[in-house]
Amino acid sequence: MELDIRVLKYFLAVAKVGNITQAARDLHITQPTLSRQLMDLEKNLGTELFVRKHKQLTLSDSGFLFQQRAKEIVQLADKACRELSEQKSQMHGTVTIACVESIASCLLPEIMAAFSQNYPYVKYELYSADGNDIREKIDRGNIDLGILLEPVEVAKYNFLRLPCYEKWGVAMREDSPLARKDVITTEDIQGLPIIIPRRTIVIEEISRWLEVAENRLNIVASHNLPTNGLLLAKKGIGYLICVEGSFTIRPMTDLCFRPFLPERTTGHVLVWKKNHVLSKATMRFLEFVRDKYEKPLY
């Protein structure tokens, strides 16, 4: 026979006040529900726990014995929960994580804030970098986790997809002729001076989108962080091809963003090195992210 801790607490509440109606109010449940739970408990135990008389309930001999054991069981269960909670709250350690400059820069603090509510003693080391730098730091063991913007070569990493997606487009001066458009087509941007991320895999993607060979792209500058690219665009040096989030997380006056048409979207992945031992705090952080977004870890 299985005993439900919740039902044991119901029984103890009724035993304390000797009245179903009052106990139901104290427990914030309905009187019929409480009566049914007590009757089921007595049926499962094969004995009456209460002597019922004039709407008052007093413990029977079996009830007195069961009350003592029920208190012990509930107290033990509460103690176990409290110890687990204390163990959880006392977890220490440092999670080292790098993040690209994108909308993920807004998602990461939300994740950390929620995680810190459960694990307030865990600390963080944060880095901002592009995908190349992040992967190098993970490979060298300088950081444990990295949030990358796709496309990503993930063959040597474990990864978890994050529920944030970006639109690619162009950041430019508000007085640019293209700024009058709501969307930017490949024909609009062809031949114009462009500022792009330095990552080879991204350059290949941009070349494919624009239907122009890489060596024929009019690249006036490349960057590892969009912050630098935005400053160049503000000076009118070129048109910055970037994701919308890299612009919106640090809006600059005199600049605007226009998405590509047809739409070009990309996602984010949280990666960590395969066959690499992670700290307990980092593993718990990964489990938290996995559970929060209900995505499998690969």
Residue 36's pLDDT is: 92
CATH number for region 166-265: 3.40.190.10
Average pLDDT value for residue range 86-98:
80
Whole-model pTM: value is 0.67
Predicted confidence at residue 150, as pLDDT, reads 87
Q: What is the pLDDT of residue 295?
A: 47
Residue range 7-32: mean pLDDT, rounded: 91
1/99: higher pLDDT: 99
86 pLDDT higher than 60: no
Range from 79-88, 139-148, 177-186 carrying the lowest mean pLDDT: 79-88
Question: Has residue 9 got a pLDDT over 60?
Answer: yes
Residue 182 has pLDDT above 80, yes or no: yes
- Answer whether residue 78 shows pLDDT above 90: no
Region 68-94: mean pLDDT is 78
Nearest alpha carbon to residue 164 among 226, 63, 248, 89: 248
Report how far residue 191's alpha carbon sits from residue 178's, in angstroms, rounded to the nearest whole number. 13
Task: Please report, rounded to a whole number, the percentage of residues in the chain having pLDDT higher than 90.
Answer: 58
Band of residue 152 on the pLDDT scale cut at 50, 70, 90? confident
pLDDT reported for residue 221: 96
Q: Given a cut of 60, is residue 294 above it in pLDDT?
A: no
Residue 135 to residue 145: CA distance in whole angstroms: 9
pLDDT of residue 297: 40
> Rounded to the nearest 10 degrees, how much is the dihedral formed by the CA atoms of 286, 289, 293, 295?
-10
Q: Rounded to whole angstroms, how far apart are CA atoms 282 and 285?
A: 5
Mean pLDDT across 92-102: 92
**Structure tokens given for 15:** 């035993």
The reported pLDDT for the residue numbered 101 is 92
Residue with tokens 């490349």: 222
> Is it true that domain 93-164+267-293 has CATH number 1.10.10.10?
no
Contact 181, 136 (CB under 8 A): no
Span 216-227, average pLDDT: 91
The domain made up of 5-89 has a fold known as Arc Repressor Mutant, subunit A (1.10.10)
What is the average pLDDT score of the chain?
89
Q: What is the pLDDT of residue 252?
A: 85
45-73 average pLDDT score: 89
Kindly tell me if the per-residue pLDDT of 92 is higher than 80: yes
Q: Is the pLDDT of residue 291 over 70?
A: yes
pLDDT-derived band at 87 (thresholds 50, 70, 90) equals low
On the question of a common fold for 93-164+267-293 and 166-265, the answer reads yes
Q: What is the pLDDT of residue 269?
A: 94
Q: Mean pLDDT over residues 217-235, rounded?
A: 92
Position 215 scores a pLDDT of 85
Half-sphere exposure of 145 (CA within 13 A, CB side): 26
Please tell me the distance from the alpha carbon of residue 25 to that of residue 21, in angstroms, as a whole number: 6
- Given a cut of 70, whether residue 45 has pLDDT beyond it is yes
- Going from N- to C-terminal start, the domains of the chain cover 5-89, 93-164+267-293, 166-265
Using the predicted structure, report yes or no on whether residue 279 has a pLDDT greater than 50: yes
